[in-house]
Structure 1
Amino acid sequence: MFAMTVDQRRSRDGRDLVPDALGALGRAVPEPVLPFERTVGDEIQALLGRGEDVVAACRRLLRDQEWHVGIGVGPVELPLPASTREARGEAFIRAREAVEEAKSLTPSLRVLGGNRSDEGARDADVVLRLLASMWTRRTAAGWDAVDAVEATRDEGGTHQPLRDVAQRLAITPQALSQRLRTASWQLEVEALPLAARLLDAAGARMAEEWGGGQR
């Protein structure tokens, strides 16, 4: 299992971003094990079962550069409660440690396994932080281009021709291609499933170590 603990950055200096984040995370991860919820103050927690959902949540959060993100890989106590706020287990302990460590990192993200020496969790941490560096450096125009292309993706993963997307953005196909290159979008497309696989592999190893991954 993957527990996520997310804390708003500079919360004393700005407005409460939790409601907007909960809406965005609900769209990015429509089927969590336990939903994203405000736990206390400006903190959010959730329990996820798939690496790809963790990656999607991180991508949504890190693009705004307003959040510290901690991910804990490990078992949770069963039976699961109805609310994330009531959930317990090693994954949540590690997520708490991870978000505290993330506060001193750039980008502000950390992945920790139930066993802190687990190489799989460390590998996932490195790849996710590389992706996070890409997300936090991407310009607003770059995100607009990426969002516009991804909005045309069908169930088979095929996108509409760039000329059609460019027309909707009122720019030339050449300008759209340049924005996508600057945004490193093609590299991101290739790296996203790698990050998900590394997380899933780390989760599987934790499950074996803890006798099924839950207790």
Structure 2
Amino acid sequence: MSRALHDVATGTLLGVALNYQGLLKQHLAEFEQPPYQKPPVKPVLFIKTPNTRNEHDAEVVHPGNGLRLQPGPALGVVIGKDISRVSAAEALDYVAGYTIVNEFSLPEDSYYRPAVKAKCRDGFCAIGPELVPTAQIADPHSLTITLYVNGEVRQQNSTANFVRDVPRLIAEISEFMTLHAGDVLITGTPEGRVDVAPGGRVEVEISGLGRLVNHIAAQ
């Protein structure tokens, strides 16, 4: 993680679940069952707690005990100024820049209730390697996200497939909570999560943002 990112991305790590069209479609039948009976109408949010913070080229500890560990490649949006009740048209004016996030998790049983034990283990949110200013990214909704495990492509998608684009996410979240300078909005992981094992090398590449590398260590 570059020094600039350390200085800027110091706030809350706020995740958005189900923000890829393909992932949402996979779960539509489940959402039509009681007690929900319809898909979510607002962003489904979760928090990555401060103990999850991790860096480029750092280790992520596999939980062991027969548990499965899955990387979560995502575009990170770093908030530059405090925001409350901003319109989608103005939302990007409050963004300092973009970075890569690997939001590690155990497999999720419910997207409506993301489990703390699955999401918030030590080191489960790698961020980096640097902050890329908004001016350097012409369109945050045309970026290719690729996950490599031991050099092999295991997951690939595009931010063109977001359910909610970045301005809409910021507008809908800031309706009910203030986003502060330094907060990081994790815009979602696409469908097709894979398992990784100790000894593995995990890389997330996003076009224009570089490549975030982590190493999976045994417990």
Higher strand fraction (1 or 2): 2
Q: TM-score range by the shorter chain?
A: 0.3 to 0.5
Larger radius of gyration: 1
- What's the TM-score once normalised by structure 2's chain length? 0.32
Higher helix fraction (1 or 2): 1
- What's the TM-score once normalised by structure 1's chain length? 0.32
Bigger relative CO (Cα 8 Å, ≥ 6 apart) = 2
